[in-house]
Structure 1
Amino acid sequence: MPMPTSLPEPQAVASSITRSAIFLVATLADGDAHAETVRAWCADVAAVVRAVGHRVPDGNLSCVCGFGSDAWDRLFGAPRPAALHPFREFGAGERMAPATPGDLLLHIRAEAMDLCFELATQLLGKLGDAVRVVDEVHGFRNFDMRAMIGFVDGTENPTGREAAGFTVIGEEDAGFAGGSYVMVQKYLHDMAGWNALPVEAQELIIGRRKLSDIELDASVKPSNSHSALTTLDDNGQEVKILRNNMVFGRPGAGEFGTYFIAYARSPAPIEQMLENMFVGRPPGNYDRLLDFSRAVTGGLFFVPSADLLEALADRGGAGQ
C-alpha cells in the first residue's frame, strides 16, 4: 500500500504504543447548544494536548479523537466521510460482535497514567454535560507487549511509511484526506478456562509460539487459528491494519480484558477480519479464541486529520 503524499497532517494515529492509555467512548446530549459545545471543543483539542504534554516533555502524550456516523451527521452535516457507517455486527448467540452506543471516541496515550488522567480530565471538563461517557477503560502495556492471554500482541503491525499507507486516507476520499477510520471493541476473557489449556493447544488457537512469538509453520497452523483468520490477501499483497490494543482488568472483580483498537484507511479490512473471526472462513470455521474471549462493546469512528478537526469548529450539523 503506497504512502499518501501531500496530505493534511493526520492526528497521532501512528504514535508508538505507550505504557498507559485511556479509552473514552461518549454519547452526545440532546440539544443544539450541546452540539455547538462539541463543535467549539474541536478547535481546542490540540492546544489542550500541547499544554498538558509540555509539563512532561518525554511523556509521549497524544490523543486521537474520532466521531461516529450518527454524530457526524448531527454535528457536521454534509459532506461526510465516504466509508463512515454504524458498526456492523457479526456472529450470533454467544459468539457475537455487538454494536454499542458511541458518538465520540478519545484514545489517549502516554508513558504514565497520570498524564493520561490529566488530559482526560481537561478534555472532558471542557465538554461538560454536552456528552455522557458510556465506556471508560484504563489500559496498560503488559510485560513484553503481551496480551492478557500471554501471547505477544501487534507483531504484524505496519511501521513507518507502511503504517501511513495502510491507515491514512488519500485521494480515494480527497475531502477527508489525512483522516483514518478506527474500530474499537472491549473483550473479556475466561482466563481460568484459557489457562487450563496446555500451551500447545493455545498455540494452535493463536497460530504462534507462545514464548518466541514465531508464527507456526503453514503445515501445522490450523485454518481457524486467530492468525490465519486475521490475515488478509489482496492479489498477493497482505492488507494490514494498525492495532494499538491494551490490557485492562480488575483482579478483585475477576475481570480480565483486552481493549481492541485498530486503525485503517477504510473500515473494510477490519470488518473482513471480524467476519472471518465471528462467522468463519468458510462459515462455521470460526476463531476458536472466541471460545474464551467475549466481545462486549463495538464502535466505528472516523478520525479527521488534525487540520480538519480544528476546522470542524466552524461546521454546522444536518439541516444547517
Structure 2
Amino acid sequence: MSTPQSGILPEANTDATFLVLLLQNDQKSLQTARQFSGSFPSLVDGLAAKYPDSKLSATLSFGSRAWKMLFKDQSYPQELAPFKSQRDGERLAPGTPGDILVHIRSDRKDINFELSRMVMAKLEDSALLEEEVSGFRYLESRDITGFVDGTENPERDNRAAVALVPEGQPLAGGSYIQCQRYIHNMPAWESCPVHHQEQVIGRSKQDNVEFSSEEKAPIAHIKRVSLKEDGKSLEILRHSMPYGDSQEHGLFFISYCHAARHFDLMLEEMIHADGDGHYDHLMNFTQAVTGNAFFAPSRDFLETL
C-alpha cells in the first residue's frame, strides 16, 4: 500500500510555510533537485523526531514543467497541467510561475523556519525562490474576514479518500494540489454590515452555523463551491492559512485532492457568472494574485529516486 507524504492528511497546525520555487534547466540543477527530492522524506523525519512537540510534517510537489524535466522515466500524473487562469469581467484568477512547492506545517514557527533553511541549502542554486509565505492560525481558526475557515473539510478516513489517488491507479498515494494567494480588501469588507457578510459567506459569523439551502443566497461562497456530480459531492481537502502583516494580508489557499478537476470546477463557479448573473460575491472583497498547480507523489515514489 502506498504511503502518502506526511503533510497531506494531518489536521490543521498553528503555522505553515509555503515555498514556491522555479527549477533551473541545466543538468547539474536537475540532478541536484532530483537528489533532494529523494532525500526529502528523511529530512523531514529527522527534524520532526528532534522536535516531536512541533508536530512537523511537510509535502513536496511538482508542477507539470518540473515533472517532465525531473521524472522523464516515471509515469506522468494524468490530470497535472499548468494552472488554468480564469477571468470574467473584473474577476480574475491568474496563473503564475512555479515549478516546485514545499508545504511545511507544524505548531512551531521556528521549526518551519529551520526546515525552510535546510531545504534551500540542499537545493543550492538548482531552484530559485519565487515566493515564500508564512501562514498562521488566526483567532479561532478563522480567516481574516472573521469567518471560520475549512468547515467543509472531510473528516477522519474520508480525508484520505478525498485527498489521495486510490490504490490500483497509477501514482497511488499521490495528490493533486492547487494553491492561490489572495489579498483581502479589508476596508471594503469591514464596511459591510455583518448580516451582509453572512449572506456573502453562507454562514453565521459568530456562531459558525451554516445557513439552510433555502436561506443561502445564490451568490454565497458556500453555495457556489458546494458541487455535486451524479449525486455525489465533489470534495477537496483544504489546508489554507491566513498570512500577512498590518499592510497586506489575506489567505494562502491550498487544496489537496485525488483529482485536479474538483478545484477547477469550484473556481469556475466562483469566478464566472451563471445565466442569472450570479457569481461568488466573496470575489468582490478579495483578489487572487497567484495560481499554481502541482502533484505531490507518494513517499514511496520519492524514496525510490
Normalising by structure 1, we get a TM-score of: 0.92
Shift in Å, 1:98: 0.4
Q: What is the 5 A alignment of 1:177-216?
A: 177-216=172-211
Equivalent in the alignment of 2:248: 255
Contact 1:245-1:260 within 8 A present in 2 as well: yes
Give ranges in structure 1 of 5+ residues lacking alignment: 1-6, 314-320
Equivalent in the alignment of 1:276: 269
Contact 1:25-1:135 within 8 A present in 2 as well: yes
One-letter amino acid of the structure 2 residue matched with residue 133 of structure 1: L
- The 1:236/1:194 distance shift into structure 2, 3 A limit, reads same
Shift in Å, 1:90: 1.3
Equivalent in the alignment of 2:163: 167
Partners of 2:127 and 2:174 lie apart in 1 by 23
Post-superposition CA distance 1:266-300 (Å, at most 9, x none): 01111100000011344742111111100000000
Which piece of structure 1 moves more, 216-225 or 110-119?
216-225
One-letter amino acid of the structure 2 residue matched with residue 272 of structure 1: L
Equivalent in the alignment of 1:267: 260
1:149 and 2:142 correspond? no
Q: What is the 5 A alignment of 1:85-96?
A: 85-96=81-92
Give ranges in structure 2 of 5+ residues lacking alignment: none
Post-superposition CA distance 1:3-41 (Å, at most 9, x none): xxxx30011211111011000100001211100100011
**What fraction of aligned residue pairs are identical, expressed as a percent?**
38
Q: Indicate the RMSD between aligned Cα atoms, in angstroms.
A: 1.3
1:106 and 2:105 correspond? no
- Secondary structure at 2:30 match in 1: helix
1:246 and 2:234 correspond? no
Shift in Å, 1:51: 1.6
One-letter amino acid of the structure 1 residue matched with residue 48 of structure 2: G
1:20 and 2:20 correspond? no
Equivalent in the alignment of 1:4: none
Shift in Å, 1:218: 2.0
- Secondary structure at 1:192 match in 2: helix
- Secondary structure at 1:135 match in 2: strand
Q: How many equivalent residue pairs? A: 303
Post-superposition CA distance 1:82-131 (Å, at most 9, x none): 11111111124531110000000011000010010001110111001000
Q: What is the 5 A alignment of 1:56-67?
A: 56-67=51-62
Shift in Å, 1:71: 0.7
